[in-house]
Every structure is written in structure tokens, then in C-alpha cells.
């Protein structure tokens, strides 16, 4: 596709994922994967992502309606929600680190307990088995029952049946025995690579490589196959070199098409929205660096605790930290260069805050 410009890619990156709002199930199906994050500032990342793509979406709708959807919590390149059919691409998952015999025995006992109860809350498991506490990834200590349940979920022994006030409630998982032949494994790996490309396109070459490497989280047992699938994808995807960077996107899409029209609208995005998730791509498309600083010491923050990228038309021009006081949302705005001075921008910002206020209102 000769003649593709960076402006074309910018519009394409925005418009292809900000599709016409639809039902919750269809939106997740079209996105392919929605990254999750537990921080509420003012709402969880999954809710902030879905509110732009689901009709009349309210904060917490995904958790409330989860049991009625063909959706699962699981891992892909990170943790989130995905259409149930994608699980067959990764399960039964073979963890990179095997359990020792003692952990295997504890998991077997818990599995029997879940089989008997049907649904279990982590505190039920802890009350029954008294596993105590263990050192966690961050160097502190965590409830051993919670960590074991998380490991069982990751290995495909359990699934998240629902959440109670944000806490996972588990049930037995059922996965069909996979065809482990090299041909079938290569097919699953290729499907995973296509899934992440369609979610995050257009992708600079370095980001494509990075995403495929991240698939070792969701499919560690397919690493060799995903690397081979990456080589094949480079040959089959559409691509173009612009200003020294090679970009890739699905071969059946044209970034210069009039199909990718951008609305005259302002949106506050989740830090993990597919439009802004890839920080390499962000800098190439919008010419400045955005960072997620929730885990950065307060004194070192430039953008704020939970800065929401500010998308105006097809330009990310700044960020907002949104706080709630007495039920009223207030944005603290920052800009990469300077604030637009026109009346259209001020009206669009007011409209977005009204939409967010409705999104935060109780169902």
C-alpha cells in the first residue's frame, strides 16, 4: 500500500478500535481481549475501556453481567477478559515453572474441595485448609490460599465463576484435551499472533516483536511456535516503512481508507486502552511520552496517580486525573503542549465529563 502516511496511521489507530457502540458481549468479542486492573480512579481500567464501546455502559457492568456472558477472566499478554472461545488456544496451559510435590498435593486437595462445594471464595479455602501466608512477587506476604487458587486458575484447573465485591469466586474448569501435534500447536500460535495484531494494530516492528514475546504469559508452552508464527506474520501482514520505522497491520485493512473517519469528539481513555497501550507506538504517533505512574512514588510523578490520556479527535493532546467529591467528577488536566482555546474543545470536554458522570452513576 504505497502512500500510507503517519497521519493515516494515526486516524486508523483511533477509528478501528473506537467502533460504533454495541452490546457488552459483542464489544468484548470484537476487541478480542480487555485488560483488567483493580485500581479505581475513578473506575477500573476494564470499565473505562468498555464505556466507549458499549451502549449505556455503567461502571461495574462487566462484573455484574459476567455470569451471563460467554466471557472468561484469563491471561493473554497480561490479565483480563476475553471471549471464552479463545481459551482453547492456550489451555490446558503448561506453566513455565512446575510445582513441587507439596504444592501439587495441596492443589489436589483444594480441587476436591471445589468439586464438592461447586463454588468457593478464597476465605472458605483458607478457613478449611489454613495454609497460612507466603512471600509474594513484590517481596511482601500474601494469603497462601489466594496464591494457590491463582496458580490453579492459571494452569486451567479452575475458572473465575464470578466476583464478590471484586474478589474472584472459583469453580472447576473444563478444557478439551488439545491436539498437541506440531501442526495443531503451530495453528494455535498463529491464531494467538493474529489475535494480538488485530487488537493493537497498527504496530511498529519493535512492538510486534514485544507483543509476541508477551504471549509467553498466556501460552508459555507455545513459545517456539509463536516465534515461528511471528516470522510468518511479517510476510503475510501489510507493512510500510515510514520515517525509518516499519509498521504492520492486517492485510485486509487499508489505513488510508475513508472507512477510518474520526469523530469530532473528546474522550478520556483508560491507561490500558488499545489506543494508548503501546507506549512505543504512542510516542511515534503523537510525539510525546506518556507514562502510567500509579506505582511511581508521589514525589516523582509528572502525570499523576492515574492519568487518563486525553483524546481530542485523532490527537492525544494531554491527560486528566479525575476525582470524585460528593458524587461530582472533577478533572485535573495537563497538556503535552498547550490546551486548545477554541469553543469546540471546551464543549467537547463538557460533553465527555457528562458522559463519564452518567457512566459512574448507580445502575
Query: What b/e sequence results for 111-129 when a residue is b if at least 16 CB atoms lie within 10 Å of its CB, and e otherwise?
Result: eeebeeeeebbbebbbeee
Number of H helices, E strands in the chain: 12, 14
Domain locations in the chain?
A: 101-172, 182-249, 266-360
278, 245 contact by CB (below 8 A): no
Count CA within 13 A, CB hemisphere, residue 103: 14
Q: How far is 296 from 285, CA to CA, in rounded Å?
A: 25
Query: What b/e sequence results for 320-348 when a residue is b if at least 16 CB atoms lie within 10 Å of its CB, and e otherwise?
Result: bbbeeeeeebebeebebeeebeeeeeeeb
What are the C-alpha distances in Å from 123 to residues 74, 126, 148?
21, 5, 12
- The pLDDT confidence band at residue 2, using thresholds 50, 70 and 90, is low
- The pLDDT confidence band at residue 135, using thresholds 50, 70 and 90, is low
Asked if pLDDT for residue 314 goes beyond 60, the answer is: yes
Average pLDDT for 315-335 = 94
Asked if pLDDT for residue 137 goes beyond 60, the answer is: no
Residue range 165-177, pLDDT digits in tens: 889 999 999 988 8
Domain 101-172 has CATH 1.10.540: no
Percent of the chain surpassing pLDDT 70: 96
Q: How far is 110 from 316, CA to CA, in rounded Å?
A: 48
Q: What is the pTM of this model?
A: 0.94
Asked if pLDDT for residue 292 goes beyond 50, the answer is: yes
pLDDT of res. 138:
44
Alpha helices in 2-82, H assignment, sequence order: 6-15, 24-31, 45-50, 61-65
124, 171 contact by CB (below 8 A): no
Between 354 and 180, residue with greater pLDDT: 354
* Cell 448507580 -> residue: 362
193, 109 contact by CB (below 8 A): no
Alpha helices in 44-84, H assignment, sequence order: 45-50, 61-65
**Residue 100 CB burial class (10 angstroms; 0-12, 13-18, ≥19):** exposed
Q: In degrees to the nearest 10, what's the CA dihedral of 340, 299, 44, 283? A: 50
Amino acid at each position: 500500500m504505497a502512500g500510507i502516511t503517519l497521519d493515516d496511521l494515526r486516524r486508523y489507530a483511533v477509528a478501528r478500535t473506537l467502533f460504533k457502540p454495541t452490546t457488552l458481549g459483542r464489544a468484548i468479542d470484537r476487541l478480542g481481549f480487555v485488560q483488567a486492573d483493580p485500581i479505581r480512579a475513578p473506575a477500573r481500567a476494564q470499565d473505562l475501556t468498555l464505556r466507549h464501546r458499549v451502549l449505556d455502559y455503567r461502571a461495574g457492568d462487566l462484573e455484574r453481567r459476567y455470569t451471563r456472558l460467554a466471557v472468561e477472566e484469563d491471561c493473554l499478554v497480561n490479565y483480563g477478559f476475553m471471549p471464552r472461545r479463545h481459551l482453547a488456544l492456550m489451555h490446558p496451559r503448561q506453566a513455565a515453572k512446575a510445582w513441587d510435590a507439596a504444592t501439587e498435593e495441596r492443589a489436589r486437595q483444594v480441587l476436591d474441595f471445589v468439586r464438592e462445594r461447586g463454588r468457593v471464595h478464597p476465605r472458605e479455602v483458607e478457613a478449611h485448609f489454613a495454609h497460612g501466608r507466603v512471600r509474594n512477587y513484590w517481596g511482601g506476604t500474601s494469603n497462601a490460599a489466594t496464591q494457590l487458587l491463582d496458580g490453579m486458575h492459571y494452569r486451567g484447573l479452575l475458572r473465575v465463576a464470578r466476583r464478590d465485591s471484586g474478589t474472584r469466586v472459583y469453580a472447576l474448569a473444563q478444557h478439551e484435551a488439545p491436539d498437541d501435534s506440531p501442526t495443531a500447536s503451530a495453528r494455535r500460535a498463529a491464531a494467538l499472533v493474529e489475535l494480538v495484531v488485530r487488537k493493537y494494530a497498527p504496530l511498529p516492528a519493535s512492538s510486534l516483536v514485544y507483543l509476541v514475546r508477551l504471549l509467553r504469559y498466556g501460552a508459555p508452552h507455545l513459545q517456539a511456535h509463536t516465534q515461528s508464527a511471528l516470522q510468518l506474520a511479517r510476510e503475510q501482514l501489510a507493512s510500510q516503512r515510514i520515517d525509518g520505522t516499519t509498521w504492520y497491520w492486517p492485510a485486509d485493512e487499508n489505513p488510508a481508507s475513508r472507512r477510518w473517519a474520526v469523530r469530532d469528539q473528546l474522550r478520556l481513555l483508560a491507561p490500558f486502552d488499545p489506543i494508548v497501550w503501546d507506549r512505543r507506538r504512542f510516542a511515534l504517533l503523537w510525539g510525546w511520552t506518556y507514562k502510567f505512574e500509579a506505582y511511581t512514588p508521589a514525589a516523582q510523578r509528572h502525570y499523576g496517580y492515574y492519568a487518563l490520556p486525553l483524546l481530542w479527535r485523532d490527537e492525544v493532546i494531554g491527560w486528566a486525573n479525575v476525582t470524585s467529591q460528593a458524587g461530582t467528577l472533577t478533572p485535573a488536566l495537563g497538556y503535552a503542549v498547550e490546551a486548545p482555546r477554541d469553543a469546540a474543545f471546551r464543549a467537547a470536554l463538557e460533553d465527555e465529563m457528562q458522559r463519564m458522570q452518567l457512566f459512574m452513576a448507580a445502575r
